[in-house]
Chains A and B, each alone.
Chain A
Amino acid sequence: MARELFRFKGGVHPPDHKAESNARPIHAAPIPRQLVIPVRQHIGNPAKPVVDVGDTVRTGQLIAAADGTISAAVHASSSGTVVAVEPRVLPHASGLPDLCIVIDTDGRDEWVERTPLDYRAMPAADLRMKLRDMGLAGLGGAVFPSAVKLDAGPAQICPLLILNGGECEPWITCDDVLMRHHADDIMRGAAIMRHLLGSTEVLVGIEDNKPEALAAMREAAARLEFAVEVVAVPSVYPGGGAKQMIETLTGRQVPSGKLSTDIGIQVFNVGTAHALARAVLHGEPMIERLVTVTGHVLRPQNFRVRIGTPMQTLIDLAGDREGATGVLMGGPMMGLVMPNSHVPVVKATNCILVQSRELFPAPPAALPCIRCTRCADVCPAELQPQELFRFAKAGDFGRAQEYHLFDCIECGCCTYVCPSHIPLVAYYRYGKSEIWAREREKRAADLARERHEFRQFRLEREKVEKAAKLAAKAAAARAQAAQDQARRVAPATDAPATATPDAAAGGTGEADAKKAIIAAALARAQAKKAQSAPKNTGQLSPEQQRAIDEIEARRAKIRELARKPLESETENP
Chain B
Amino acid sequence: MTDTSAPGRDSVTRIMAWVLGALVPGIAAHVWLFGPAILITLALATVTAVAAEAAMLRARGYPLRPFLFDLSAVVTAWLLALSLPPLAPWWLIVTGVLAAIVVAKHLYGGLGQNIFNPAMVGYAVLIVSFPAQMTQWAGPLELTGTSLTLNESATLIFGGELPRARLDAVTMATPLDTLRTGLLQQLTVDETLRQPIFGTLGGVGFEWLAVAFWVGGLILWARRIIGWQVPMAFLAGIVLAAGLLHFADAGRYGSPLFHFFAPSVALAAFFIATDPVSGATTPRGKLIFGFGAGVLTIVIRTWGGFPDGVAFAILLMNLAVPLIDQTTQPRIYGETRTGREPRA
- A416 in contact with B7 (CB, 8 Å): yes
- B4 in contact with A255 (CB, 8 Å): no
- A384 in contact with B1 (CB, 8 Å): no
* A14 interface residue (CB < 8 Å to B): yes
The 8 A CB mask of B8-34 against A (1 = contact, 0 = none) is 101110110000000000000000000
Residues of A within 8 A of B11 (CB): 364, 419-421
Chain A nearest CB from B4 CB (Å) reads 5
- A243 in contact with B15 (CB, 8 Å): no
- B70 in contact with A367 (CB, 8 Å): yes
Residues of B within 8 A of A336 (CB): 4
Chain B binding surface, main DSSP class: loop
Residues of A within 8 A of B136 (CB): none
* A525 interface residue (CB < 8 Å to B): no
Residues of A within 8 A of B277 (CB): 370-371
Assembly CA distance A333 to B6 (angstroms): 6
Q: How many B residues, CB 8 Å from partner? A: 40
Partner of A419, one of B12, B333, B340: B12
- B336 in contact with A255 (CB, 8 Å): yes
Chain B nearest CB from A265 CB (Å) reads 13
Asked whether A368 and B2 contact (CB < 8 A) given A403-B329, A420-B12, the answer is: no
- B6 in contact with A360 (CB, 8 Å): yes
The 8 A CB mask of B254-288 against A (1 = contact, 0 = none) is 00000000000000000000001101011000000
Chain A nearest CB from B272 CB (Å) reads 15
Asked whether A415 and B3 contact (CB < 8 A) given A12-B8, A258-B334, the answer is: yes
* B343 interface residue (CB < 8 Å to A): yes
B33-83 interface (Cβ within 8 A of A): 66-67, 70, 72
* B132 interface residue (CB < 8 Å to A): no
Q: Which of A39-47, A133-141, A375-383, A472-480 contacts B (4 or more CB under 8 A)?
A: A375-383
- B332 in contact with A421 (CB, 8 Å): no
- A423 in contact with B2 (CB, 8 Å): yes
* A404 interface residue (CB < 8 Å to B): yes
Residues of A within 8 A of B5 (CB): 332-334, 412, 415-416, 425
Residues of B within 8 A of A337 (CB): 2, 4
Question: B-side interface residues toward A, CB under 8 Å?
Answer: 1-8, 10-12, 14-15, 66-67, 70, 72, 110-113, 227, 276-277, 279, 281-282, 325, 329-336, 340-341, 343-344
Which of A262, A334, A386, A421 is most buried by chain B, counting CB atoms within 10 A of its CB?
A: A421
Question: What are 7 contact pairs spanning A and B, CB under 8 A?
Answer: A334-B5, A360-B6, A364-B11, A370-B277, A407-B334, A425-B5, A426-B3
- B276 in contact with A371 (CB, 8 Å): yes
Chain A nearest CB from B199 CB (Å) reads 36
- B7 in contact with A367 (CB, 8 Å): no
Partner of B281, one of A8, A330, A335, A376: A376
- A335 in contact with B341 (CB, 8 Å): no
* A448 interface residue (CB < 8 Å to B): no
- A421 in contact with B7 (CB, 8 Å): yes
- B15 in contact with A372 (CB, 8 Å): yes
- A416 in contact with B336 (CB, 8 Å): no
Residues of A within 8 A of B111 (CB): 367-368, 370
Assembly CA distance A113 to B342 (angstroms): 48
Residues of B within 8 A of A384 (CB): 281-282, 329-330
Residues of A within 8 A of B276 (CB): 370-373
Partner of B334, one of A256, A328, A330, A370: A256
Residues of B within 8 A of A423 (CB): 1-3
- A254 in contact with B7 (CB, 8 Å): no
- A407 in contact with B333 (CB, 8 Å): yes
Assembly CA distance A337 to B277 (angstroms): 33
Residues of A within 8 A of B331 (CB): 382
Asked whether A380 and B330 contact (CB < 8 A) given A337-B2, A365-B66, the answer is: no
